[in-house]
Amino acid sequence: MEYLFKAEQVSKSYTGHKALSNVSLAIPSGSIFGLLGPNGAGKTTFIRIINQIIAPDEGTIYYRNEKMTPDHARHIGYLPEERGLYKKMKVGEQAVYLAQLKGVPEQKAKKLLREWFEKFDLMRWWGKKVEELSKGMAQKVQFIITVLHKPDLLIFDEPFSGFDPINVNLLKQEILKLREEGATIIFSTHNMASVEELCDNIALINKSEKILDGNVREIKKDFSTNIYQLELSQLNRPVEQLFDHRFELISAAPQNGLVNARVKILGNAGSNELLKQVITASTVVSFNELMPSMNDIFIKTVTGKFPQEGDEYKGSAEANSYLSE
């Protein structure tokens, strides 16, 4: 696998505070990489090191297998969480100016910007001052400026903050398109639904240390709780009597004429054995493994407990009542 960016044993301290401690990451080329963690975990410090705003105290960072230098900055596009445009400048004038700072010639910048402004429905604001823009429109302008020079590495820090669902979807589609065109993207957010939807790989930093990283699908598989959701009909006996010692009935309740049950597989039993248990005494309408969400995995990794853990068995009396009707 080819990696665009690597960090090896990176540490950074401020007065009386360890911001990063021996963090190593490898970001595959052409992927979307989620950089996650609670507030104050060290994510912003790591992003600043990548952008060479600050230097690590220890460790090395690489760009395409070369030690990173200030010259690599031209290959990076950075959209910080704290946005900032010159409020008194006109929108188009400022966008052209910032594009030129990234090495895009003026005429080419104007052409590309007009294409992006048309796509984002911003052309009527070209000659207006930035202070006349809404927060969402200003953020769209900054997104455009970030990606205009087609950098190899894009860093988006909470890119959807302040956007309505329509514009969130617009940006998601553009981010996916950028990846398809070959860009590598570091995506920092607290929105775990967006991580699940967009990211190929993630790293989770907590209290300055990396505590989890890997492919999103593989991580979800690793955190599987072996809990299955079943919808059953035409039961010939109470739902509690369907399962032997290899399975634990977590909950069961009537729903839309069916019995909705959650069952945990114990020991070395598998899903096929679970199905065999229920098909002899009911009709199986649906059967799905309840994979943990990235939000659940985030909470589990940081706190040591899934949010669902500790739920008591509920609904058995209601389920039996339904069966006896």
* Token reading at 153: 């590495």
Which domains does the chain possess? 3-220 (3.40.50.300), 225-324 (3.30.70)
Give the closest residue to 45 by CA, choosing from 68, 23, 66, 70: 23
Given a contact cutoff of 8 angstroms between Cβ atoms, the answer to whether 10 and 20 are in contact is yes
84-108, pLDDT tens digit by residue? 788 899 999 999 999 999 999 999 9
219-235, pLDDT tens digit by residue? 998 998 899 999 999 99
Residue-averaged pLDDT of the chain: 89
pLDDT score of 192 more than 80: yes
Full-model pTM? 0.84
Per the listing, tokens 């957010």 go with 189
Task: Give the strand order in the sheet containing 201-206.
Answer: 76-79, 153-157, 184-188, 32-36, 201-206, 209-215
